Amino acid sequence: AGSAASLRFRAEERCTFDREESREVENPRKRVEEVSIGSMISSAVTSKVVTTVTEYFWKYECMYELLAVRGAGDSDKATIFSRSSHTELKTATKSATHPAAKVPAIEADVNITWLIRQLEADGAAQCN
């Protein structure tokens, strides 16, 4: 009898505050007020609205991996594949859209002992 075998999918997510930036946005509509004396325009006053917009930037990272695990513990495992990625998120408020850390975000095990035993029984696991 051999050891139990399983596949484990595991993912982590992290979101950390990076920076705050402010910029001015000019409204495309302008207001022109003309001052006239009689039928002649003596001056025109143009006004515009400028709004200060503050944006908040976050670093969002995620990592996932697929492991083959032999036995009941974590001592005998091999990484089949793993990947990590990151992106920048922009918000209008200083509230994070994701939790600071979600470790693990997901962890799922699937027992594949029966499948491996079927391969061994058919001789498919042997190389000729």
28 vs 39: CA distance, rounded Å: 29
pLDDT of residue 123: 62
Is this structure's pTM higher than 0.85? no
69 vs 9: CA distance, rounded Å: 11
Residue 120: pLDDT above 80? no
Cα–Cα distance list, 122 to 7, 89, 125, 128 (Å):
21, 51, 8, 13
pLDDT of residue 128: 46
Sheet of 101-111: strand order equals 77-91, 40-70, 5-37, 101-111
Of 38 and 23, the structure prediction assigns the larger pLDDT to: 23
Instruction: Encode pLDDT of 73-116 as tens digits.
Output: 778 899 999 999 999 999 999 998 899 999 999 999 999 999 88
pLDDT of residue 1: 54
